[in-house]
């Protein structure tokens, strides 16, 4: 703009602007929204009016950020600033009316809305209306005026203005001297100002006009935050003690220009919110990772971490201004916040120079897509996604966007490491575990001397700290890094295996391929990887060519070193006596976390399958060659499962869910229809008797299996098992503590003890 305002002022008051030109809100602008009564807008409105009050009464500067627009023939048309200008118009109207400043009231008629005729006439009419401030509510008085009729009631801008007028009245209604306030608002040192930036700094195009108007949320969280940041002590931390006002303006202006363009490219109309969310979450993550590093108790910051994203711009600034949460063990919060702000600034500088954020892939496997990470508004990222973003952006902050082949390769190996750790660590959304992991990643990046593949692998090998959750996968990554560092064949073998398995977890293959001296045998690794591909798909689920029942039964045949002879079965989380077969998904059995004695069964099976090209043939041979006489005592429960395909078998009312309950030294086995003993269940031996009867054409509905959902075995009243076979008016069940294993009750209630064969013959011949 080529006017006196722009030439002589870097900031203006509302009075100075309206004294020099008319202010007309154009038709393309949205309705005035500061008076909307949803929770977020109410918070913004009340905060803003409270800041008006504090600035005026305490003579403190309040800067409302930049105002952009076009000025022609003494008419100013705002592109960005409608909401703030309207609120300032209403504040000046209220104060001028209270102080009877008629010259000021007349000048306020130069403010008008072109969005609707009713909005335009409302701004004129309230400047001509007498208000009795002693009568309480002002909005009711205005609505009772003769001219307020028809479409005035339906105009959303007018509705908002009435709410804001009432809010101003509630805050300023008891001031002692309105004349003094009026003089402050119209004086050269007005405490409430906005920043002025020449439109010559922009390309004056319709596209820009649409973009600026498309924001649709003026006085946004981010605008409030930027205004406060510019006038804070943080600017000295960010730009040096001797920072000038011009340097401050230039620093903030980048967020309104090139950084805004960066976010607009990805977020369109949400770009302002997205930029604020990025800054809030990055500062949050840096701050709370330091809280973790300096041993702030987890109970102190666990919930605090989650509250940050709910703060508006004003609240978030106050969080920074007050030094965070006040943790005693964090003695330098201002330095942490300043460093995090500089990181955000540097990252934006890096990103805005890239046409696309994607980085060239040099490893075949897809890890993370930088565009997708940036495209999701930061506050909507999952905990794991937040951790990934932090780890990758810390690296990019230190080394910049990779450009040379060496830099791209190094970044790919860093991304691979982050992927493997995050994919194979059960963070469970726990704040403390995420923060602990951020510390590890940040320290690793800081330890890197250069951006090369060698530096990345060396940092993985020499990592000094880990977390309780990460340590399992961290150990695997250290082993792989050592193998890959100086052996290109190992490097390619490991990348090939990681490419096959989606999660990149190879701990079980490495474990199965160890020499006696704990070194990894390359040929054995190749063989075990080949066997693994033959059995499992990329998700570690059994291949469709591998029979699930044969695989489970063959695993039961393997040596069992578990203390309670529960073989490879997975302990259910809600019970100490309930164990589950894997039902084709072997991720947990093969994982590093659950590795050891249980996954040794898979190792033994891999060895026995050596030489077989047909997996099912090999599994069947293993089962048939197994001497079941070896399974005695606590291991005896395995025999029926090895000899029979019991998986998914019909129990009675429900199917077997592939979980069992073991009690009384594993002599009492319940087949469960769920994952806990509280599920409906059938006793194993009773089920085996029913299975043999079914195979001899004694079936439902003539034969019924009675299930129960409690852990009790006996009906104490009639001293008969709760789970039994009912057939032709009789009951037959397994009795665990009798010499004759089964008990039979005839129609008269008389009972006798029977062996399995005797019970079968009796029922078959009834």
The pLDDT of residue 2 is above 50: no
Answer yes or no: is 580 within a domain: yes
Same domain, 304 and 372: no
pLDDT tens figures, 188-204: 999 998 876 555 444 34
Band of the pLDDT at 29, cuts 50, 70, 90? low
pLDDT of residue 487: 96
Same domain, 381 and 480: yes
Answer yes or no: is 211 within a domain: no
Same domain, 539 and 591: yes
Backbone angles phi, psi at 372, to 5 degrees: -65, -40
Same domain, 115 and 134: yes
Same domain, 31 and 168: yes
Answer yes or no: is 214 within a domain: no
pTM of this structure:
0.72
- How many CB atoms within 10 Å of residue 125? 16
In this prediction, residues 118-124 reach a mean pLDDT of: 91
Q: Look-up: residue for tokens 């390619």? A: 492
For residue 376 the two structure tokens come to 């999701």
SS3 (DSSP) at 644: coil
With a pLDDT cut of 90, the percent of the chain lying above it is 62
Q: Residue 512, preceding bond cis, omega within 30 degrees?
A: no
Same domain, 402 and 480: yes
Number of domains in the chain: 5
pLDDT tens figures, 671-720: 999 988 788 999 999 999 999 999 999 988 999 999 998 666 666 566 79
In this prediction, residues 228-238 reach a mean pLDDT of: 87
- Please, are residues 711 and 753 in contact by the beta-carbon 8 Å criterion? no
Answer yes or no: is 226 within a domain: yes
Answer yes or no: is 639 within a domain: no
Same domain, 280 and 378: no
HSE-up of 97 (CA within 13 Å, CB side)? Answer: 23
Answer yes or no: is 641 within a domain: no
How far from each other are the two terminal CA atoms of the chain, in whole angstroms?
Answer: 105
For residue 219 the two structure tokens come to 């006085």
Answer yes or no: is 103 within a domain: yes
Beta bridge partners of 659: 580, 672
CA–CA distance, 207 with 214 (Å, rounded to integer): 10
Alpha helices in 215-332 (DSSP H): 221-230, 234-239, 245-256, 258-267, 271-293, 298-301, 304-307, 313-321
Same domain, 189 and 229: no
Band of the pLDDT at 4, cuts 50, 70, 90? very low
pLDDT tens figures, 300-314: 888 889 889 888 888
Same domain, 40 and 164: yes
Give helix 245-256 / helix 258-267 axis angle, nearest 10°: 20
pLDDT of residue 104: 94
CA–CA distance, 476 with 491 (Å, rounded to integer): 14
pLDDT of residue 611: 87
Q: Which residues contact 471 (CB under 8 A, 6 or more apart)?
A: none
Answer yes or no: is 640 within a domain: no
Same domain, 400 and 304: no
- Please, are residues 587 and 503 in contact by the beta-carbon 8 Å criterion? yes
Last residue of a domain, one of 334, 353, 372: 353
Domain of residue 564 covers 506-633
pLDDT of residue 712: 65
Last residue of a domain, one of 633, 663, 682: 633
Higher pLDDT, 578 or 269: 578
Last residue of a domain, one of 451, 467, 501: 501
Band of the pLDDT at 114, cuts 50, 70, 90? confident
Reported as type and span, the H/E element at residue 681 is strand 681-683
Same domain, 517 and 655: no
pLDDT of residue 165: 93
pLDDT of residue 205: 33
Same domain, 742 and 762: yes
Backbone angles phi, psi at 273, to 5 degrees: -60, -40
């Amino acid at each position: 703009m080529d006017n006196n305002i722009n030439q002589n002022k870097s900031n203006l008051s509302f009075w100075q602007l309206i004294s020099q030109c008319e202010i007309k809100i154009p038709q393309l602008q949205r309705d005035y929204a500061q008076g909307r009564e949803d929770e977020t807008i109410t918070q913004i409105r009340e905060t803003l009016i409270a800041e008006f009050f504090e600035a005026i009464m305490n003579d403190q500067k309040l800067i409302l950020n930049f105002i952009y627009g076009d000025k022609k023939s003494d008419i100013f048309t705002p592109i960005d600033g409608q909401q703030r200008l309207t609120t300032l118009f209403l504040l000046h109207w209220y104060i001028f009316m209270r102080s009877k400043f008629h010259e000021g009231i007349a000048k306020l008629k130069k403010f008008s809305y072109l969005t609707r005729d009713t909005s335009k006439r409302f701004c004129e009419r309230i400047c001509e209306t007498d208000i009795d401030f002693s009568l309480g509510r002002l909005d009711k008085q205005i609505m009772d005026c003769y001219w307020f009729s028809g479409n005035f009631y339906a105009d959303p801008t007018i509705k908002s203005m009435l709410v804001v007028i009432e809010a101003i009245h509630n805050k300023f209604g008891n001031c002692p001297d309105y004349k003094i306030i009026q003089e402050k608002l119209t004086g050269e040192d007005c405490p409430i100002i906005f920043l002025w930036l020449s439109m010559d700094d922009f390309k004056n195009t319709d596209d820009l006009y649409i973009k600026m108007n498309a924001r649709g949320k003026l006085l946004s969280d981010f605008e409030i935050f930027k205004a406060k940041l510019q006038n804070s002590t943080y600017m000295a931390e960010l730009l040096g003690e001797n920072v000038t006002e011009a340097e401050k303006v230039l620093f903030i202006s980048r967020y309104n220009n090139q950084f805004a363009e960066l976010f607009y490219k990805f977020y369109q109309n949400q770009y302002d919110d997205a930029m604020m969310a990025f800054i809030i979450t990055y500062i949050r993550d840096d701050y709370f990772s330091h809280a973790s590093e300096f041993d702030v108790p987890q109970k102190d910051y666990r919930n605090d971490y989650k509250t940050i994203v709910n703060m508006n711009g004003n609240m978030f600034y106050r969080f920074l201004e007050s030094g965070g949460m006040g943790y005693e063990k964090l003695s330098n919060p201002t330095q942490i916040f300043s460093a995090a702000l500089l990181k955000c600034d540097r990252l934006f500088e890096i990103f805005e120079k890239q046409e696309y954020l994607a980085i060239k892939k040099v490893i075949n496997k897809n890890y993370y897509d930088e565009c997708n990470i940036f495209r999701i508004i930061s506050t909507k990222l999952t905990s794991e996604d937040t951790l990934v973003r932090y780890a990758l952006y810390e690296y990019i902050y230190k080394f910049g966007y990779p450009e040379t082949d060496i830099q791209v390769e190094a970044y790919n190996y860093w991304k691979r490491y982050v992927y493997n750790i995050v994919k194979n660590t059960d963070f469970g959304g726990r704040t403390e575990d995420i923060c602990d992991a951020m510390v590890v990643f940040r320290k690793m990046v800081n330890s890197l001397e250069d951006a090369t593949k060698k530096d990345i692998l060396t940092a993985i090998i020499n990592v000094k700290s880990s977390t309780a959750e990460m340590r399992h996968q961290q150990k695997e990554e250290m082993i792989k890094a050592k193998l890959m560092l100086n052996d290109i064949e190992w490097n390619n073998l490991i990348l090939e295996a990681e490419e096959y398995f989606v999660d990149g977890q190879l701990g079980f293959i490495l474990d199965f391929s160890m020499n006696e001296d704990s070194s990894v045998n390359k040929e054995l690794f190749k063989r075990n990887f080949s066997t693994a591909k033959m059995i499992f798909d990329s998700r570690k689920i059994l291949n469709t060519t591998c029979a699930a029942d044969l695989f489970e039964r063959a695993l039961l045949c393997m040596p069992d070193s578990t203390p309670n002879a529960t073989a490879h079965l997975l302990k259910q989380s809600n019970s100490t006596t309930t164990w589950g077969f894997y039902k084709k998904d072997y991720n947990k059995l093969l994982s590093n976390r659950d590795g050891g004695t249980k996954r040794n069964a898979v190792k033994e099976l891999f060895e026995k399958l050596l030489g077989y090209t047909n997996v099912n043939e090999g599994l069947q041979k293993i089962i048939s060659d197994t001497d079941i006489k070896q399974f005695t005592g606590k291991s005896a429960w395995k025999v029926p499962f090895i000899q029979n395909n019991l998986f998914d078998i019909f129990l009675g009312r429900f199917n077997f869910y592939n979980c069992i309950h073991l009690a009384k030294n594993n002599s009492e086995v319940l087949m469960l229809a769920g994952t806990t003993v509280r599920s409906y269940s059938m006793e194993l031996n009773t089920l085996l008797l029913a299975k043999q009867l079914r195979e001899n054409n004694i079936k439902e509905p003539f034969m019924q299996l009675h299930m129960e959902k409690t852990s009790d075995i006996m009906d104490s009243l009639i001293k008969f098992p709760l789970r039994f076979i009912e057939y032709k008016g009789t009951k037959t069940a397994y009795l665990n503590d009798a010499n004759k294993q089964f008990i039979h009750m005839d129609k008269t209630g008389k009972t006798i003890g029977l062996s399995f064969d005797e019970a079968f013959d009796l029922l078959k011949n009834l």
